[in-house]
């Protein structure tokens, strides 16, 4: 190790205080905990259940689409399958995935605090999430909902005969868990930083979550009032969005996308934060253009609020609005591009080691590139008319939501697994799982770009026979993807019970969570309150390739 | 520093995860303001609906606005402004080291005004029920009262009343929550938690209360007064 200022501390000796996992063993000590780390674990457990449900629904959809005719389900059931898949995956997996688990666990530790600013509100947010989640489960038990996750009126508010109001209220309630999480993160990052932890010494994971918390705070209340109003219209027949009552259904779409486009950034920004941490660690370098990457998170959060109209080019909104939204959508791609270029530049002449988190991060960069660039196709006023509501859109947003957000989630879970559990997973199956997931993912969604370009509409139960080859490829890919995820989950599950004990800093990474906290951390996070004296990612120069494990 | 919450003079407690009272105070303040920002966005969606439909259906908006009881709305506005004053005085009492009895006195007055608002609002709603101005399917019944009043604009007037009930209903819901929290705040006051050196809880509750009042300050002219103004000469009841 270098004898210069920059050193990597191997982390504290095992503390004599109990770790957060052993500090209390009763059920009550978990269900009434105010420890951000335990709340993160509660979220992780619940989110994993919803992820499995959403994934199973996806497999059923793809199983149906093996053949051009409806063999397995009738059309009504098919409508419910893709609706529930969307609602479960977006509101109950993607939105809380990284923030509520990794964010909750890591933000206080990374900034040198003992907890988030409002620990009780943090616990409350989990109960709110569980309440919304139970309502969603109730929707499934009562026979589902068939409006598509977008809940567009007048179908949702007037004509659908399924459990729309309950679904809307499930989304409404769950939104408040997101608001409470965002509130906590924002205040925590402002007020709880350790001495010396200045804004520009913050890890990029923190910057990403700060930007995310702004979107959560400003966007989520709007979707809440939107779906509430729609549900009131449906239940009391009052006439707000229904055109036969003089209402404007396009107004609903404006309000819906005012949240739901920025919501994409709630799903992807935390993932970008994870990728920054992973790339810095496994290239042993400070992230190139740190300040640009940090500011680009804020740029995405802000510009992301004024591009929603790109979902509505075919609704008949004004042409001038179309043009402005199109230009702004091109502009919002710039900060994402800045991040991608900077990550790539970070790897240049770095000591790159291909551990599992880095494999996921590399996959992320390739898939996000495709997901992001195809987004520009959709932003184009002319081309969008051709690909609107086709499988091209489905492929595009799955490259962002799954190829990017889920891959980042898996990268983060593997990266911080030793910190969270105090154990190591086996590297072989983890890497193998990552590669299977990567292959399965591309096999599933790349053919959908072609299908969409050829004109196959999304949400259709039947399709012409000439598209069967591409659909079979896609369905086979989905099964492969499912198998890869199952394998990775089993590997991680096995490591939780039987993995080898991890040291405090198994990757020899920079950062308070690695250098100052044990694995797993004690309840108060640190034996001694940390004082920060260096910038983030201060890796020693010319370190021989990663000396971890 | 102890891991346990420890008492400081006056009964305010420093939570285990803060370094000092100042950090705790600043966090509470920032959190409260951020929360109010979310509330603005929440009501903002409804204000957007109001603006869009008012632009689409100005005549219906004017006619429907006339059906609201400006007197009751005006009295309620005055009642809420008074409640904001007594709330501010409760905080000022704590700030200047006033004892718990005057604190509770001002809070009780605030509670009284808040309750009065809700009572008047209930009578107003009752009046709308009796006049058949409930925006359900019966509103557009050709033989109903609303059809007689609004004529061809009855569907659009129904949207006005939908928004009227959702906006004022949501506001009233916030009032009810505020009144619930008032009892809690009075209990804390009784226990002597709020002193000149620290009265965070009282201050945060005050911010909430003022915010809910301000929402009404916007609702009253938009719903009750705009139509009256638009009729031109002699348009007042
Ligand atoms: Cu969008």
Q: What is the ipTM of this complex?
A: 0.91
Residue A549 has pLDDT above 60, yes or no: no
Average pLDDT over residues A371-389: 95
Residue A221 has pLDDT above 90, yes or no: yes
Residue A96 has pLDDT above 60, yes or no: yes
- Options 3.40.640.10, 1.20.120.80, 3.40.980.10, 2.60.40.10; which CATH number does B22-231 get? 1.20.120.80
CATH topology of domain A27-515: Cytochrome C Oxidase; Chain A (1.20.210)
Q: Which residues of A touch B27 (CB under 8 A)?
A: 117-118, 187, 190-192
Q: Which residues of A touch B35 (CB under 8 A)?
A: 183
Whole-number Å distance between alpha carbons of A481 and A488: 11
Residue B7 forms beta bridges with which residues? B13
Q: Which of A115, A224, A247 sits opposite B17 (nearest CB)?
A: A115
Residue A195 has pLDDT above 90, yes or no: yes
**pLDDT band, very low/low/confident/very high, at B98 (cuts 50, 70, 90):** confident
The lowest-confidence range among A403-417, A433-447, B10-24 is: B10-24
pLDDT at B232: 40
Average pLDDT over residues A454-476: 96
Whole-number Å distance between alpha carbons of A317 and A186: 35
Q: Which of A116, A183, A248 sits opposite B52 (nearest CB)?
A: A248
Residue A245 has pLDDT above 50, yes or no: yes
Yes or no, beta carbons of A186 and B30 under 8 Å apart: yes
Residue B18 has pLDDT above 50, yes or no: yes
Q: Which chain A residue shows the shortest CA-CA distance from B44?
A: A222
Going from the Cα of B33 to the center of ligand 1, the distance in angstroms, rounded, reads 29
H/E segment holding residue B14? strand B13-14
Going from the Cα of A261 to the center of ligand 1, the distance in angstroms, rounded, reads 4
**pLDDT band, very low/low/confident/very high, at B228 (cuts 50, 70, 90):** low
Q: Kindly report the nearest CA distance between residue A524 and chain B, in angstroms.
A: 8
Burial B84-108 (b: 16+ CB within 10 A, else e): bebbebbbebbeeebebebbbbbbe
Residue A522 forms beta bridges with which residues? A19
Q: Does B2 touch chain A (CB under 8 A)?
A: no
Considering the entire predicted model, what is its pTM? Answer: 0.94
Domain boundaries, chain B: 22-231
Vertex A331: Cα angle to A327 and A335 (nearest 5): 170
The lowest-confidence range among A12-16, A42-46, A231-235, A427-431 is: A12-16
Chain A residues with CB-CB distance to B under 8 A? 113-119, 179, 183, 186-187, 190-192, 217-222, 224-226, 229, 232-233, 236-240, 245-248, 251, 255, 523-524, 529
Going from the Cα of A311 to the center of ligand 1, the distance in angstroms, rounded, reads 6
Burial A251-283 (b: 16+ CB within 10 A, else e): bbbbbbbbbbbbbbbbbbbbbbbbbbbbbbbbb
pLDDT at B229: 53
Q: Is the dihedral of CA B113, B114, B117, B123 positive or negative?
A: negative
A26 CB contacts (<8 Å, ≥6 apart)? none
* Residue ranges in A65-159 assigned as alpha helix (H): 75-87, 95-98, 104-110, 119-141
Yes or no, beta carbons of A221 and B41 under 8 Å apart: yes
Yes or no, beta carbons of A246 and B39 under 8 Å apart: no
pLDDT at A74: 94
Domain boundaries, chain A: 27-515
Q: Kindly report the nearest CA distance between residue A461 and chain B, in angstroms.
A: 35
pLDDT at A542: 58
Query: Quick check: bond before B171 cis, omega within 30?
Result: no
Summarised one tens digit per residue, pLDDT across range A502-527 is 999 999 999 999 999 999 999 999 99
The lowest-confidence range among A184-188, A543-547, B114-118 is: A543-547
Average pLDDT over residues A243-255: 94
* B166/B16: higher pLDDT: B166
Q: Which residues of A touch B16 (CB under 8 A)?
A: 114-115
Q: Please state, in angstroms and as integers, the Cα–Cα distance from residue A96 to each residue in A126, A180, A226, B197, following that order.
A: 10, 11, 20, 38
């Amino acid at each position: 190790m270098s004898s210069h200022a920059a050193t990597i501390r191997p982390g504290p000796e095992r503390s004599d205080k109990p770790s957060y996992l052993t500090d209390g063993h009763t059920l009550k000590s978990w269900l009434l905990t105010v420890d951000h780390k335990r709340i993160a674990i509660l979220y992780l457990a619940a989110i994993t259940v919803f992820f499995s449900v959403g994934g199973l629904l996806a497999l059923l959809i793809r199983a149906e689409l093996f053949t051009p005719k409806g063999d397995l389900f009738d059309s009504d059931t098919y409508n419910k399958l893709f609706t529930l898949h969307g609602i479960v995956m977006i509101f109950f997996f993607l939105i809380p995935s990284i923030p509520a688990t990794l964010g909750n666990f890591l933000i206080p530790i990374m900034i040198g605090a003992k907890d988030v600013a409002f620990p009780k509100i943090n616990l409350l947010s989990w109960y709110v999430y569980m309440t919304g989640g139970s309502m969603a489960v109730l929707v499934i038990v009562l026979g589902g909902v068939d409006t598509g996750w977008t809940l567009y009126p007048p179908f949702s508010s007037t004509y659908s005969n399924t459990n729309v109001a309950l679904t809307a209220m499930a989304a409404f309630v769950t939104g408040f868990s997101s608001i409470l999480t965002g509130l906590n993160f924002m205040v925590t990052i402002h007020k709880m930083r350790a001495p010396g932890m200045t804004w520009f010494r913050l890890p990029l994971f923190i910057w990403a979550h700060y930007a995310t918390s702004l979107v959560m705070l400003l966007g989520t209340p709007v979707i809440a009032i939107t779906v509430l109003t729609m549900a009131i219209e449906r239940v009391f027949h009052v006439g707000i969005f229904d055109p036969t009552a003089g209402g404007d259904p396009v107004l609903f779409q404006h309000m819906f996308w005012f949240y739901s486009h920025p919501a994409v950034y709630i799903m992807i920004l935390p993932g970008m934060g994870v990728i920054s941490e992973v790339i810095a660690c496994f290239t042993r370098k400070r992230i190139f253009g740190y300040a640009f990457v940090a500011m680009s998170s804020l740029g995405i959060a802000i510009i992301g609020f004024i591009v929603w109209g790109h979902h509505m080019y075919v609704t008949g909104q004004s042409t001038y609005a179309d043009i402005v939204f199109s230009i702004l959508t091109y502009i919002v791609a710039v900060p994402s591009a800045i991040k991608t270029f900077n990550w790539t530049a970070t790897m240049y002449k770095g000591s790159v080691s291909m551990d599992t988190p880095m494999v996921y991060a590399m996959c992320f960069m390739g898939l996000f590139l495709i997901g992001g660039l195809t987004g520009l196709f959709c932003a184009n006023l002319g081309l969008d008319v051709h690909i609107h509501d086709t499988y091209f859109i489905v492929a595009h947003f799955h490259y962002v939501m799954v190829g990017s957000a889920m891959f980042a989630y898996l990268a983060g879970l593997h990266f911080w697994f030793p910190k969270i559990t105090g154990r190591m997973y086996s590297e072989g199956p983890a890497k193998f799982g990552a590669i299977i997931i990567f292959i399965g993912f591309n096999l599933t969604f790349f053919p959908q770009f072609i299908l969409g370009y050829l004109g196959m509409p999304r949400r259709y139960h039947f399709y012409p026979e000439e598209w069967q080859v591409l659909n079979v490829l896609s369905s086979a890919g989905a099964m492969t993807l499912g198998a890869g995820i199952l394998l990775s989950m089993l590997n991680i599950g096995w490591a939780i019970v039987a993995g080898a004990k991890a040291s405090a800093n198994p990757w020899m990474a920079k950062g308070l969570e690695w250098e100052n906290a044990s694995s797993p951390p004690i309840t108060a996070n640190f034996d001694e309150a940390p004082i920060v004296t260096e910038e983030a990612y201060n890796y020693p120069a010319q370190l021989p390739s990663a000396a971890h494990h | 520093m102890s891991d346990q919450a420890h008492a400081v003079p006056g009964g305010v407690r420093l939570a285990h995860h803060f370094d000092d009272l100042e950090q705790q105070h600043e966090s509470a303040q920032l959190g409260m303001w951020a929360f109010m920002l979310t509330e603005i966005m929440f009501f903002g969606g409804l204000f957007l609906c109001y603006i869009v439909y008012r632009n689409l259906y100005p005549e219906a908006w004017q006619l429907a606005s006339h059906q609201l009881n400006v007197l009751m709305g005006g009295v309620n506005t005055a009642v809420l402004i008074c409640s904001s004053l007594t709330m501010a005085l409760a905080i000022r009492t704590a700030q200047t080291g006033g004892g718990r009895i005057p604190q509770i006195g001002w809070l009780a007055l605030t509670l009284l005004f808040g309750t009065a608002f809700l009572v008047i609002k209930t009578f107003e709603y009752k009046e709308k029920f009796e006049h058949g101005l409930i925006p359900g399917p019966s509103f557009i019944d050709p033989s109903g009262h609303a059809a007689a009043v609004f004529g061809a604009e009855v569907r659009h007037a129904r949207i006005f009343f939908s928004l009227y009930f959702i906006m004022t209903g949501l506001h009233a819901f916030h009032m009810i929550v505020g009144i619930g929290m008032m009892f809690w705040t009075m209990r804390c006051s009784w226990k002597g938690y709020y002193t000149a050196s620290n009265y965070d809880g009282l201050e945060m509750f005050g911010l909430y209360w003022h915010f809910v009042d301000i929402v009404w300050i916007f609702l009253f002219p938009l719903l009750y007064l705009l139509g009256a103004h638009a009729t031109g000469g002699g348009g007042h009841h």
